[in-house]
Amino acid sequence: MAQPEVHGARIGEHGTRTRFVIDISEAPKYSIFLLANPYRVVIDFPKLRWNLPANAGQKSDGAIGGFRFGQFKPQTSRVVLDLKAPAVIEKVFVLDPKEGYPYRFVLDLRTRERSAFLNAMNTWRPPTPKVTAKPKVVPLLKPKSVGERKVVVIDPGHGGVDPGAISVSGLREKDLTLTMARELKKAMEKAGRYKVLLTRNSDTFIRLRDRVEFARESHADLFLSLHADSIRNRKVRGATVYTLSERASDKEAAELAEHENKSDIIAGVDLTGESDEVTTILIDLAQRETMNFSAQFAQLLVPELSKRMRVRTKPHRFAGFVVLKAPDVPSVLVEMGYLSNRYDERLISAPSGRAKLVGAIIKAIDRYFGDRKT
Ligand SMILES: [Zn+2]
C-alpha cells in the first residue's frame, strides 16, 4: 500500500482558537499527547510521505510558535507543535475530501493556564512503556585484541522529525550530515583499515542517548558526530571541532551545546524522569581519560581541516554535549560549517567541498590510530 502523502500544512488563528491543518491523501490514524517544559503537542501518524518545503514549519500564529515534521520511528511519522503558551486541545477531527480539498486533519487549540495544560497532559498521554533507570556507574567495555580493524562510528546529526538547521535556500542540516556521513564511510572503507558504522542511514530520528549507546555497543574506537548548524551572525564561517567538557570554553560553545541537547525535546520525546541525566553533564573518572583521547584527536583534526578549508578563530572548543558523553569512546563533534553562511552552505552542499572534509577527517583518523600507543 502506498504511503499517505501530506501536501500542505498550515496554522490559522480564529479568535481565541488556533487551528492546525494538514492536507493528506488518506484519512490518517493518529495519536496525540502533550508535553510540558517547553509546551508541545505531539501528533503521531503511521508512516507518511512529506511533500512539504523544508521550512514549512517555520511559521507562527496564535498559540503555535512553529512545528516540525518527519520520521520518528520506522513506522511512525511525527508532528511536534511548539506552543508559545500553554494551550489545550479543544477538538481534533478528520474532514472528508470536499470541493477540491483532500482529506484534512484538523486540530484546534485554545490557550489556557498552566494548570489546565498539565491536567490535559495526563488525559491525552497514551500509555508509555516504563523507562528503567540506568545504573550510575557504567562498566567499561573490554579493550579489543590487537590487530583488529578499528571501529569508527559516524553520527549524522539530527534526522527525521528533527531537521536541525535550515539554510536560507532550504537545505536541511539532517540531509547534509547524512550525505557527508555516507561519503566519509565509503572513502574510509576503501582503504580497508576501518570498520565504519553509522548511527543512522536514513532520514529518521535517533535519541541522543541512543547514539551514544550505539557507539558503546559497537565497541567503537572513535565516535564522530557531524553537524552544520546556524548562527545568528551570518558572517561567521568555518569549521569547528568540539569535545566534551563540563565547562564550556566560551558562550557560543555553551549555547550550541544547549541547542544540540534539545534535539530530543524538538522531536517530542518525553524526558520526564530522566531529565537529570540528560540535562546535567557530570563527568566521572573513567571519562577523563577518554576526554584526553578526544582532545588528542581534535588536535590532529584541526590542522588537517585548516590545510584544506576555513576554520574558526578558535577551532577546538569545549562544551557539554550529551552526544559526546560515552565514558569509554573518544568522541568529537565536527561543525563542518554554518548553514547560516552562504559560503559555508555552498562548501558543504558541494561534493568537492565535502571531499575536502572527508580528506581532512581520514588523515586525522590515520594519524590518530597510527600515533596512539594502545
Ligand atoms: Zn546540529
CATH number of the domain encompassing residue 30: 2.60.40.3500
Tell me how far the alpha carbon of residue 233 lies from the centroid of ligand 1, in angstroms: 16
Are 237 and 352 part of one and the same domain? yes
Share of residues in the chain with pLDDT > 90 (%): 72
224 and 278 within one domain: yes
Range from 133-147, 244-258, 292-306 that averages highest in pLDDT: 292-306
Say if residue 311's pLDDT is above 80: yes
Q: Which residues surround ligand 1, an ion (CB under 5 A)?
A: 157, 164, 227, 229
CA of 323 to the centre of ligand 1 (A): 11
Compute the distance from residue 244 Cα to the ligand 1 centre, in Å: 15
Centre of ligand 1 to C-alpha 156, Å, is 9
Q: Are residue 171 and residue 276 in the same domain, yes or no?
A: yes
Range of the structural domain that residue 293 is part of: 150-371
pLDDT at 135 over 50: no
243 Cα to the center of ligand 1, angstroms:
14
Q: What is the Å distance from ligand 1's center to 322 Cα? A: 12
Write out the three cell numbers for 202.
Answer: 536514513
Q: How close is the Cα of 159 to the center of ligand 1, in Å?
A: 10
pLDDT recorded at residue 133: 46
Same domain, 327 and 216: yes
* 138 or 268, greater pLDDT: 268
- Tell me which of 147-151, 268-272, 366-370 is least confident: 268-272
Instruction: Return the higher-pLDDT residue of 127 and 115.
Output: 115
| Domain annotation covers residue 304 | yes
Rounded distance, CA 280 to CA 133, Å?
15
Mean pLDDT of 178-189: 97
Residues 192 and 101 in one domain: no
User: At residue 155, does pLDDT exceed 70?
Assistant: yes
Same domain membership, residue 25 and residue 69: yes
Cβ atoms 73, 48 nearer than 8 A: no
Give me ligand 1 centre to Cα 240, in Å: 12
Section 194-205 average pLDDT: 96
pLDDT at 281 over 80: no
Q: Apex CA 275: angle with CA 272 and CA 277, to 5°?
A: 135
pTM for this entry:
0.83
Q: Is residue 159 domain-shared with residue 49, that is, in the same domain?
A: no
Q: In what order do the strands lie in the sheet with 64-73?
A: 31-35, 40-46, 76-83, 64-73
How high is the pLDDT of residue 250?
Answer: 94
Q: Do 158 and 78 share a structural domain? A: no
- Total domains present in the chain: 2
Q: What's the pLDDT band for 126 if we cut at 50, 70, 90?
A: very low
pLDDT of residue 147: 63
Give the distance (Å) from ligand 1 centre to CA of residue 68.
15
Which amino acid is residue 134, in one-letter code? K
Question: What CATH number is associated with residue 214?
Answer: 3.40.630.40
